[in-house]
Every structure is written in C-alpha cells, then in structure tokens.
Structure 1
Amino acid sequence: MNNGYKLGFTIKQLHGAFESNRNNFFRQYNVTGSQMDILEYLDGKTNKMATVAEIQTYLNVSYATVSGIVSRLEEKTFVDKIKGVSDRRQTNVSISDNKEVKDLLKLQHVYLESMDQKVTEDFTESEVDTLILLLERLLSNSEGT
C-alpha cells in the first residue's frame, strides 16, 4: 500500500482547513484557535490549572510557543500565571473567572459541534462512528513515531 504520503498529506490539509476556519471565526472575538485550545485544556482540568510544561506536552509545541500564548491570554485577563511554591522556575497557569472566558468556551463548544455536523452532513451515523474509530486508531498508531 503506497497511500501513506497521500494519507498524511490529506490529514495535514484537513487540519489546516479546520484551524483556518476556527481562527477566522474566533478573530471577531480577538482570540486564536491556539488560545482557545489552552482555555479548553485548563477548563477540563479538575482544578482549572496546569503548568506551562503540561500545556506544552498537551499541545505538542515548544515551551516558548506556549509561554507566548499564555502571556497573551494573561494580557486579556483570561488566565493567571502563578509561580510555583516549591520551584520558582515552574509556572502554573489557571483559568480566570472572567465571564468572557466562560462565554468563549460555550461558543467554542457550539462552533465545534456545528463544524462536525457540517463536515459530516452527508455521512450516516455509522460512517461517523467508523471515521472517529479509524482516526483514533491512526493517532494511537502514530504515537511515538
């Protein structure tokens, strides 16, 4: 089977299209998709807090990239940065109680659900289930490569 390049390229194109559409949508709210990813990640944590290193691992980007995104979120009062107690080099990031953050997270859920419906509008429910299963397998198979 020699579809590996085509498969990888198609996934890359799909990811680019999703990110471009999401960034275009959230531009009106003065946030980026990457900023929303961090807010979503923090919101999913039990204590609404994570270290910059944890966010880096989750997003699979450089520490400097995460640090820059977090700084921009802090400027918008969407997150708070807290130095570690036992290790001052460690930076904890917590989601703020800013109402706009809660509104953006709700908006993201609605947006992502509508995008899922749009891109699968001509799929059966079974096809969507199979697609999700196959994508999860691809992700699992690619880990550590």
Structure 2
Amino acid sequence: MSQPIKQPLIVNSIKTIDNLVKRYGNSHLKEIDLTHSQTNVIIFLHQESHRLVQQRDIEHSLNLTNPTVSVLLSRLEEKGFVRRITKPEDNRSRIIELTDKVEPIIQEIYEHVRSIEELLFEGLDEAEINALSESLRKVALNAKKRL
C-alpha cells in the first residue's frame, strides 16, 4: 500500500480557483449579458486588436477546443459583440473582430477581472504577486508543451 500524500496537490488548488473564478464571474457578468468564458474571448480579441485574429488563434491562446470556441463565437455573434469576416482570398478562412458594442463595456470587463484579482491576491504583497505570476506563467507554458 502506498504512502498517503501529506500536502495538498497544487493542481487541486488551481482547479478550485478556476471553478470559483468562473462562478463569481458568471454571477457578476449577467448584467452585461456575458459569461466568464465569453469575456475571456473578448479580452483576447481586445488585446490582439492590432492584428487579424482567426478562430484557431483563440483556440491556441485560450487552450480551448474548436467546438468550444465555435459555440462561444456564435453566442458572442448573436449578442452583437463579435463578427466573423470572410477573408477575400480564402472563403474558408474568417477573421474574428470585436464590434462597436464592446467599446462601452470593455472597461467594465477589465474592472471585473481586476476585482477578481484583488480578491485572490488579498494579503499578498507586490513581490509575492509578481513571483506567483511568473511561476504560474511557467507552469502554464509547461502544461501547454507537455500535456
């Protein structure tokens, strides 16, 4: 019989945080008719607005499957937050861009994310937050490379 693990698994803590952030996000984003997952797509598109973004860019960056991103984009398109534009040189390829409907709420979305971070990082000083951020960035890169 193997020895019990004495300390909690870090991946369990990460999953718990993810679940709670989604639940908190969904409850607070209802008033602007968005889900936490939809705002992740909007934030990505906003941060990448300097270039042409295709669906596979969203899939890769947010580590989501093609069907998941398709559903998210369809819902965002129905709500008027994004549009898919067919590339003239390739009818099968579409560019995804934000509509003007996002402009009045983009600050609210970023403020929502900042408020979640404030709750999560309560009691941590700037050095601890920076170290955690760097460590989690490395963990995420390892996960993308190896899992």
* d(CA) in 2 for partners of 1:141, 1:127: 21
Paired residue for 2:31?
28
* d(CA) in 2 for partners of 1:33, 1:103: 18
On the 8 A contact 1:48/1:94 being kept in 2, the answer is no
Paired residue for 1:43?
46
Q: CA RMSD in A?
A: 2.0
Query: Once the two structures are aligned, what percentage of the paired residues are identical?
Result: 23
* d(CA) in 2 for partners of 1:67, 1:80: 12
Code of the residue aligned with 2:80 in structure 1: it is T
TM-score (norm 2): 0.85
Pairwise CA distance, 1:47 = 3.6
TM-score (norm 1): 0.86
The 1:7–1:82 alpha-carbon spacing in structure 2 relative to 1, beyond 3 Å, is same
Aligned counterpart in structure 2 of residue 73 of structure 1, from 49, 73, 76: 76
Aligned counterpart in structure 1 of residue 11 of structure 2, from 5, 8, 13: 8
Code of the residue aligned with 1:8 in structure 2: it is V
Alignment gaps of 5+ in structure 2:
none
Pairwise CA distance, 1:49 = 4.1
Secondary structure of the corresponding residue to residue 27 of structure 1 = helix
Pairwise CA distance, 1:70 = 1.0
Alignment gaps of 5+ in structure 1:
none
* d(CA) in 1 for partners of 2:117, 2:16: 16
The 1:58–1:33 alpha-carbon spacing in structure 2 relative to 1, beyond 3 Å, is same
Paired residue for 1:126?
127
Aligned length: 142
